[in-house]
């Protein structure tokens, strides 16, 4: 993974680590919203809502479109897919390591009623 991608992954997972930001994403998953809609929907100040939105924008999870005076926010799920790809690569890695561990351990200490690992 190159450095840019890894920093983006950090930003994605960091952004997801906050419950308010996850709630904002869940809200945007239903439909696009204005900043003021989101501020009204959560028991936090407009200023605080804006901070969370900026963090989500930095992580690439939220896009902002300006229509006149209205700022409309929408969800961009692509960075989540990248985080997911990281996990899938490691799933393969650990599956293969466990198979090798199995071979290593069972070849050293064979058991009479050896059962097949799945």
Partner 1 sequence: MNPIATVEPLVVRRRIAASAEAVFDAWLDPKALAVWMRPGAATRSTATVDARIGGRYEIVMHMPGGSVPHHGVYEAIERPRRLVFTWNSPHAGDHDSRVTVEFHSQAGATEVVITHEHLPDGDAVGKHRGGWTEVLARLDAFAGERIQAPSR
Would you tell me which residues interact with partner 1 (CB under 8 A)?
Answer: 1, 3, 5-7, 9-10, 13-14, 16-19, 22-23, 25-26, 29-30, 75, 77-78, 80-91, 93-106, 108-109, 111, 113-118
C-alpha span between 83 and 6 (Å, rounded): 9
C-alpha closest to that of 5 among 76, 109, 85, 117? 85
Residue 54 or 91: the one with the smaller Cβ distance to partner 1 is 91
Q: Which two tokens stand for residue 118?
A: 């799945």
Closer Cβ to partner 1, 41 or 100, answer by number: 100
Extract the tokens encoding 8.
Answer: 């983006």
Distance of CA 59 to the CA centre of its chain: 10
| 31/69 with CB nearer partner 1 | 31
Question: Minimum distance between the CB of residue 25 and partner 1, rounded to whole angstroms?
Answer: 6
């Amino acid at each position: 993974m190159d450095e840019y991608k890894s920093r983006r992954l950090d930003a994605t997972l960091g952004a997801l680590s906050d419950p308010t930001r996850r709630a904002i994403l869940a809200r945007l998953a239903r439909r696009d919203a204005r900043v003021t809609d989101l501020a009204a929907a959560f028991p936090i100040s407009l200023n605080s809502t804006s901070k969370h939105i900026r963090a989500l924008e930095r992580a690439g999870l939220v896009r902002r479109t300006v229509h006149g005076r209205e700022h409309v926010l929408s969800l961009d799920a692509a960075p989540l897919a990248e985080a997911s790809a990281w996990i899938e690569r490691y799933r393969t890695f650990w599956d293969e390591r466990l198979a090798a561990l199995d071979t290593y351990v069972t070849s050293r200490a064979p058991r009479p009623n050896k059962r097949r690992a799945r």
